[in-house]
Amino acid sequence: MFNLFNARASHFMPLMSVIALSALRLFGFSYNSNGGGGIFLMGFFSSAIDGLKTVITAIGAGIGVWGVINLLEGYGNDNAGSKSQGIKQLMAGGGIIILAQTVIPLLSSLFGGGGEGGGE
């Protein structure tokens, strides 16, 4: 009877490497098998930067909408403090959106992707 716990690790190495490379490919990594070896992370970084850009833009939009609500509430109740807080939140949300759309794509050139952020 075959016992998995008593089997030698060398018997499972080819299977483990195939599973590991398949899992890496699933997450956007690619493997250079033509002599140089190594794992390339460009697909992972570009998708991570796109995701980061989307998340930060959504956070900025949420803060901006919250600011508009506070601003309208301040005008409705004639509350200067609420109007001030609302306009500050609105401007902060807009600034975060601009930051996400302009600075975050520059990270792709930092990691050597070149993408829309530039590169060499």
Q: Are 85 and 93 in contact (CB under 8 A)?
A: no
The answer to whether residues 102 and 55 belong to one domain is yes
Query: Residue 117 domain-assigned?
Result: no
Q: Are 87 and 71 in contact (CB under 8 A)?
A: yes
Cα distances (angstroms) measured from residue 39 to each of 19, 25, 42: 15, 10, 9
Residue of 95, 87, 94 lying closest to 69 (CA atoms): 87
Question: Domain range for residue 98?
Answer: 46-111
pLDDT of residue 56: 92
pLDDT of residue 104: 86
The answer to whether residues 33 and 52 belong to one domain is no
The answer to whether residues 52 and 83 belong to one domain is yes
Tally of structural domains, the chain: 2
Burial (CB < 10 A; 0-12, 13-18, 19+), residue 100, is buried
The answer to whether residues 64 and 30 belong to one domain is no
pLDDT of residue 120: 39
Binned average pLDDT, 10 residues per bin, the chain of 120 residues: 51 62 60 53 73 91 93 89 92 94 83 50
